[in-house]
Amino acid sequence: MSGEQWLVQDRSPQNRLQMKALTIIPGKANSASVQDVPLPAASDGSVLVKALELGICGTDFELISADYGWAPPGSQHLIIGHESLGVVEEAPENSHLKKGDLVVGIVRRPDPVPCAACGGGQFDMCLNGKYTERGIKERNGFGSEFWRIEEDYAIRLDPGLCDVGVLMEPASVLAKAWDHITRIGERAIWKPKTVLITGAGPIGLLAALMGKQRGLDVHVLDRVTDGKKPKLVEDLGGTYYTCSVKNVGFTPDIVIECTGVAPVIAETMAHLGNDGILCLVGVSSHNQKLELDLGTINRAMVLENSAIFGSVNANKHHWQMACDALMKADRSWLAGLISRKEPLENWQEALKRRPDDIKVVIQFSKN
């Protein structure tokens, strides 16, 4: 596609039948492309949003490499993108939204049964796995110039978050993790002081931010020895490590594992103290076989009351928690998590991993 074709498009939805969208064919590796597709169907929701930005994450790389992902029923293609930021173009009268509002879209939708969790608004805890997810599982995502959304699944943001609002989705995942860590901790008298976070990508750094906001001593471990990551941890008032977990020199009250790398997970499991909580949020790739002494792990867990649990996705309550966390955070620190913003025409560059990347964002338009 020539550069000119990208530029001459009329950006208003009224005069257009088509829009550009970042699509894949689920199950077919390296099928990512930008296609002209019809404007979003009214059945996607009553609120029409003009896309501003889209964050790229590890799940998108799994989708692109055909390790994950499902197209909407009856379609071969899936519009990807679940880390959204947009501006309302049209909203129904009497809605809590109006034209010009800054919004992000909730990713998951309840299963149609619905199970007890989905029926109670906790679709992040779906019991039967029949939930759907925008840009991931059976629903088109937010990687298109316009998208539609149901009013109830659009979160309005303070305009002050316009530069960093694209971090809301990963922040919602961490808000849930922290919510559940707290619930588990409160099974007994619990006065945590330290959190160890493995992995200093966007998820690990947002975990660190929320740990700081909870008044904890924050420790972050990553294999990268210099550059933005150690600096961001230091700026947060945390301590940065590149050693192995067993050499950090203390026993953390809470561990948040964000790498998904088997040997790191095993080390965190072996490094829990009394009443310790290990929350797993990093999604591992398949086939990472590792020999473990389960007897020793079980013995320590039982005798020390430790808890290991996994956490995925987020419900509406967590999206509000994420919004509060971003509002309270230092904006320039948050902006530092976004290492690159690439215009849509550079989408191929955006999908290439660079060593100093933290969060890469595709820019659809400017507000």
360 belongs to the binding site for ligand BGC (CB under 6 A):
no
Residue closer to ligand BGC by CB (options 59, 198) is: 59
Name the token pair of 214: 């909870």
136 belongs to the binding site for ligand BGC (CB under 6 A):
yes
57 belongs to the binding site for ligand BGC (CB under 6 A):
yes
Residue closer to ligand BGC by CB (options 301, 351) is: 351
Tell which residue, 295, 245, 291, has the closest CA to residue 272: 245
CA triple 108-314-289, angle to 5 deg:
95
Beta strands in 142-249 (DSSP E): 146-149, 154-157, 194-198, 217-221, 239-241
Residue closer to ligand BGC by CB (options 301, 312) is: 312
In Å, what is the CA distance from 189 to each residue of 68, 129, 278? Answer: 41, 34, 17
312 belongs to the binding site for ligand BGC (CB under 6 A):
yes
Question: Cβ 204 to ligand BGC, closest distance in Å?
Answer: 14
DSSP element (H, E) containing 45:
none
Residue closer to ligand BGC by CB (options 108, 229) is: 108
Question: Cβ 312 to ligand BGC, closest distance in Å?
Answer: 5
For the segment 152-181, give every residue that binds ligand BGC (CB under 6 A). Answer: 169, 173
Residue closer to ligand BGC by CB (options 171, 216) is: 171
253 belongs to the binding site for ligand BGC (CB under 6 A):
no
Question: What is the amino acid identity at position 193?
Answer: K
The contact mask relative to ligand BGC for 88-117 (x = CB under 6 A, - = no) is -------------------xx---------
Question: Cβ 69 to ligand BGC, closest distance in Å?
Answer: 9
66 belongs to the binding site for ligand BGC (CB under 6 A):
no
How many residues line the site for ligand BGC (CB under 6 A)? 11
What is d(CA 246, CA 298) in angstroms, rounded to the nearest whole number? 18
Contact criterion met (CB below 8 Å) for 23 and 78:
yes
Grouping H, G, I as helix, E, B as strand and the rest as coil, residue 78 is: strand
**According to CB under 6 A, which one of 59, 144, 239, 363 is a site residue for ligand BGC?**
59
Exposed / middle / buried, residue 112 (Cβ in 10 Å: 0-12, 13-18, 19+):
exposed
Question: Cβ 274 to ligand BGC, closest distance in Å?
Answer: 32
**According to CB under 6 A, which one of 122, 194, 311, 313 is a site residue for ligand BGC?**
313
Q: Which residue has the tokens 């990687």?
A: 143
Tell which residue, 356, 73, 84, has the closest CA to residue 224: 356
Strand partners, 307: 277
Q: Both ends of the chain: CA-CA distance in Å? A: 25
Contact criterion met (CB below 8 Å) for 283 and 260:
yes
Question: Cβ 367 to ligand BGC, closest distance in Å?
Answer: 24
What is d(CA 143, CA 362) in angstroms, rounded to the nearest whole number? 9
363 belongs to the binding site for ligand BGC (CB under 6 A):
no
Name the token pair of 106: 């909730």
What is d(CA 82, CA 121) in angstroms, rounded to the nearest whole number? 19
Residue closer to ligand BGC by CB (options 39, 206) is: 206
132 belongs to the binding site for ligand BGC (CB under 6 A):
no
Question: Cβ 241 to ligand BGC, closest distance in Å?
Answer: 25
Residue closer to ligand BGC by CB (options 153, 240) is: 153
Residue closer to ligand BGC by CB (options 53, 169) is: 169
Question: Cβ 313 to ligand BGC, closest distance in Å?
Answer: 3
**Which residues have CB under 8 Å from 8's CB, separation 6+?**
none
Q: Output the residue with the shortest Cβ distance to ligand BGC.
A: 59
Positions in the binding site for ligand BGC (CB under 6 A): 57, 59, 82, 107-108, 133, 136, 169, 173, 312-313
